[in-house]
């Protein structure tokens, strides 16, 4: 009797082995399909494709576009906008917007010039800290008004745009600070490279990674998406909506303050008009980069890619000899395309959810 189960046991094991083989063979294609699907469904993928196509077409027309100096200039031109777009993404995901970022950048950049002119021996890190704190304070002012007055952020920050700009005009008057008014070491930051990559760009990449990881992994970062999706429901679930929105404005202001210092290092002069008009470019970069203007969706790295795309458009138009006035038309078209694509993706997801709900 004992030989019978002994004979049967290997048969069962062999059958199990036969079943495991196709499972193992089929899991690899399914995993590859999953990775491919996740890549193609990224909200930022259209921006990446458009950026690569733009660079390829421009390079085909003008090979000097991708020369070492051309790439360096391209990255440097995008660096400041990328940092500002990353900060703006924090605000927009809460169903808000900060239209005063251009004025905050101007205040920070001008303060950089004032500090170096008044205290020539001041340590450069202290200037970075002081101007970043100035930006955070101005962002806190915006956040306090938005959360306490219960007025739409667009209205509040449109007002503070003019308040901050008017304050800068009063502070600066007709005076400007030029490259000669700052230490040589500070000016070198705007042109220094590491392995061919500008130091300012590397700093921007680090900032963008930190903000993106905060959005993905920190509980307070994920709360921003819940607030943007449905503020009332977020309050019901115990999320401190006012505190989170306030913090988003403070963080955005701090990043813009940092960008202001980099602006002063990158460009030859700062004055009362520094940063004028940048607010709409930054909002456009966020929208093009997949940050939904209605809130609840988007990443800092997507906004940064949007900023890189928009600045690349300007450089590409110059490289191929087209009028730069076309830039505004192209940017407007990109915003419209981004909104339409976002709406199509949203409708498609809702349709899949309904089908899933109807067929469990």
Chain segment 147-161, per-residue pLDDT in tens:
998 889 999 999 999
Per-residue pLDDT reduced to its tens digit, 171-213: 999 999 988 888 999 989 988 999 889 999 999 999 999 999 9
Q: Do the beta carbons of residue 284 and residue 306 sit within 8 Å?
A: yes
Name the region of 238 (left: φ>0; alpha: ψ -120 to 50; beta: rest).
left
Per-residue pLDDT reduced to its tens digit, 327-340: 778 778 877 877 77
pLDDT of amino acid 311 = 92
Residue owning tokens 């709409």: 280
* pLDDT of 117 above 90: yes
* pLDDT of 142 above 80: yes
Q: Do the beta carbons of residue 87 and residue 252 sit within 8 Å?
A: yes
- Report the alpha-carbon distance of residue 181 to residue 178 in Å, rounded: 5
pLDDT of amino acid 20 = 45
* pLDDT of 4 above 50: no
Mean pLDDT of 254-264: 97
* pLDDT of 351 above 90: no
Q: Do the beta carbons of residue 285 and residue 256 sit within 8 Å?
A: no
pLDDT cut 70: percent of the chain above it: 84
Q: Do the beta carbons of residue 304 and residue 208 sit within 8 Å?
A: yes
Per-residue pLDDT reduced to its tens digit, 283-311: 999 998 989 888 899 999 999 999 999 99
Q: Do the beta carbons of residue 280 and residue 297 sit within 8 Å?
A: no
Q: Do the beta carbons of residue 85 and residue 282 sit within 8 Å?
A: yes
Mean pLDDT of 308-328: 84
* Nearest-5° Cα angle at 10, 9 to 13: 90
- Report the alpha-carbon distance of residue 113 to residue 261 in Å, rounded: 9
- Mean pLDDT across the chain, nearest whole number? 86
Mean pLDDT of 223-239: 94
* pLDDT of 227 above 80: yes
Count, residues in the chain: 360
pLDDT of amino acid 262 = 96
pLDDT of amino acid 247 = 97
Per-residue pLDDT reduced to its tens digit, 24-82: 455 556 666 666 656 656 778 888 998 999 999 999 999 999 898 889 999 999 999 99
* pLDDT of 102 above 90: yes
- Report the alpha-carbon distance of residue 67 to residue 64 in Å, rounded: 5
- Report the alpha-carbon distance of residue 99 to residue 102 in Å, rounded: 7
pLDDT of amino acid 6 = 43
* pLDDT of 163 above 90: yes
Which secondary-structure segment (H or E) carries 197? strand 197-198
Q: Do the beta carbons of residue 112 and residue 326 sit within 8 Å?
A: no
Backbone φ and ψ for 310, nearest 5 degrees, come out as -65, -40
The shares of helix, strand and coil residues in the chain, as percent rounded to the nearest 5, are 80, 0, 20
Mean pLDDT of 91-95: 96
């Amino acid at each position: 009797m004992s030989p019978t189960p002994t004979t049967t046991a290997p048969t069962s094991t062999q059958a199990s082995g036969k079943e495991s083989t196709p499972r193992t063979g089929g899991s690899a294609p399914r995993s590859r399909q999953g990775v491919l699907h996740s890549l193609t469904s990224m909200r930022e993928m259209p921006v990446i494709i458009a950026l690569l196509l733009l660079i390829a077409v421009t390079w085909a027309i003008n090979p000097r576009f991708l020369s070492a100096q051309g790439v360096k200039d391209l990255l440097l031109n995008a660096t400041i906008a990328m940092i500002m777009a990353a900060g703006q993404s924090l605000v927009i995901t809460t169903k808000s917007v900060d239209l005063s970022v251009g004025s905050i950048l101007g205040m920070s950049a001008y303060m950089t010039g004032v500090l170096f002119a008044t205290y020539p021996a001041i340590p450069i890190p202290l200037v970075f800290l002081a101007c970043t704190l100035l930006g955070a304070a101005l962002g806190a002012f915006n956040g306090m008004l938005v959360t306490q007055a219960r007025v739409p952020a667009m209205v509040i920050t449109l007002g503070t745009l003019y308040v901050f700009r008017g304050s800068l005009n009063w502070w600066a008057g007709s005076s400007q600070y030029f490259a000669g008014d700052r230490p040589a070491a500070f000016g070198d930051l705007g042109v220094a490279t590491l392995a061919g990559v500008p130091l300012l760009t590397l700093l921007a990449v680090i900032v963008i990674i930190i903000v993106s990881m905060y959005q993905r992994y920190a509980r307070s970062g994920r709360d921003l998406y819940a607030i943007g999706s449905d503020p009332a429901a977020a309050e019901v679930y115990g999320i401190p909506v006012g505190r989170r929105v306030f913090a988003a404005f403070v963080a955005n202001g701090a990043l813009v303050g940092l960008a202001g210092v980099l602006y002063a290092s990158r460009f030859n002069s700062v004055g009362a008009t520094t940063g004028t008009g940048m607010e709409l470019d930054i909002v456009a970069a966020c929208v093009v980069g997949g940050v939904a203007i209605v809130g609840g969706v988007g990443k800092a790295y997507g906004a940064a890619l949007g900023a890189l795309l928009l600045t690349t458009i300007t450089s590409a138009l110059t490289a191929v000899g087209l009028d730069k006035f076309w830039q505004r038309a192209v940017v407007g078209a990109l915003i419209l395309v981004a909104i339409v694509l976002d709406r199509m993706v949203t409708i498609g997801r809702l349709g899949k959810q309904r089908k899933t709900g109807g067929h469990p």
